[in-house]
Amino acid sequence: MDDTLIEVPRGLTNVAVAETAISQVRGLEGYYQYRGHSATEVARTASFEQAWQLLMDGNLPDDDAGLGDQAVALQQEHRQLVTDIARRTLPAQQAQSQGTSFNALTGLQVGLPLIASELGLKPLYDLDPRTRREQAVLMIALTPQLLTTLHRFARGETELVLSEQTGFVARYLHQLTGELPAEKTVAALSTYLVAAMEHGFNASTFTARVIASTGADIAACLAGALGAFTGPLHGGAPSRALETLDEVQASGAETEQWLRDEISSGRRLMGFGHAVYRTVDPRSQMLKEVVSDLGGDRVSSALEFEEAAEKVLQELKPGRGLHANVEFYASVLLEHCGIPRQMFTPTFAVARVVGWAAHILEQAEDTKIFRPSAKFTGEQLRATPR
């Protein structure tokens, strides 16, 4: 066996580690697609259920292809189990928080494997493709239900039973806020969720595929993806982007000067820059249009901040291609929809679990386990003293 190592760039940047037919991100062009369809166009025109079907099975149906009814049925069937898991998970999470706000995302990371254990879900390695898909649909359907149940229980509220006629996104909003959402609000959130469902081999997706390559069960794969997703450099940015707008307003400083001070001090400007895009993030541009249509003081502030940030970033970091990313306008949109800040990233996960599941199913078709090497930089073997 040849022990020669192949040198790769830090972070595996531009290294193709697997093949996929699910999505493609073209960072230099500012474009990404879902199975041959413009992702932003799908977000503008398709429902959550239609996009779910596209990513999972490769075809974009004219309706929800029965996924909506199937999700409702699964949520009703496992309602008591989800409630029990939420109650079991909540005390440990509250103790861990030590006075800080409850982390529903961590509850989801713990809860999904518990649900899988209760239902006796087997490793992907032991399942046929049809059963794997059924389990993927189950996990996607139960994700928003577990998140909202955890959130409501943490606030001392009772579980909300929803109408079976409500669509996936409207049902999530209703369960989370306790109020029937307006159609315009549902449409805005649906656009965001579809745009956020999938985005290539990001850190959480890659993590899910590495675990799937071991043949582990689907909940283990999703728990690993969620672990990566909790990092502030990945899924944890939306609420931080909104906090930036709050800080500027609270400081009373002129926006451009505040930005110069922040950037010159070496602090990261949340909501700007992306690991792949070196041009405008197409998701950010689309969500900018959505929130502009919604209107309001927060939207006006965000638009002014972006304009100032673009100017200052070009001045202080020329040639870096730093623009508003999806989290910047997503934060404004989520706030407008009445979603609490602590549920921003969990709401992101409601969408991204679809992309993770699609990748897990694709990876499960390959029997080769991921097993890279590392360049050893430690001390070499010492001679054994005689």
Catalytic residues: 274, 327
Task: Output the six-digit token pair for 20.
Answer: 């996929």
In degrees, rounded to 5, the angle at the alpha carbon of residue 238 between the alpha carbons of residues 209 and 313 is 105
Q: How far apart are CA 82 and CA 80, in angstroms?
A: 5
Neighbours of 243 (CB within 10 A): 14
* DSSP state letters, 304-335: HHHHHHHHHHHHHSTTS---B-HHHHHHHHHH
The strand order across the sheet containing 31-34 reads 23-26, 31-34, 37-38
What CA–CA distance (Å, rounded) separates 179 from 206? 36
Separation of alpha carbons 277 and 358, rounded Å: 23
Which tokens is 304 given?
Answer: 């002014």
Phi, psi for residue 71 in degrees, rounded to 5:
-65, -45
For residue 139, give the DSSP letter: H
261 vs 266: CA distance, rounded Å: 9
Indicate if the alpha-carbon torsion angle 268, 270, 276, 277 is positive or negative: negative
On whether the CB atoms of residues 338 and 182 are closer than 8 A, the answer is: no
Burial category of 126 from C-beta neighbours within 10 Å (exposed 0-12, middle 13-18, buried 19 and up): exposed
Given a contact cutoff of 8 angstroms between Cβ atoms, the answer to whether 334 and 344 are in contact is: yes
Cα atoms in the 13 Å half-sphere on the side-chain side of 73: 7
H helices present in the chain, as ranges: 39-45, 48-57, 67-77, 79-97, 104-119, 129-154, 168-177, 183-196, 203-212, 218-229, 238-251, 255-264, 282-294, 297-316, 326-336, 344-364
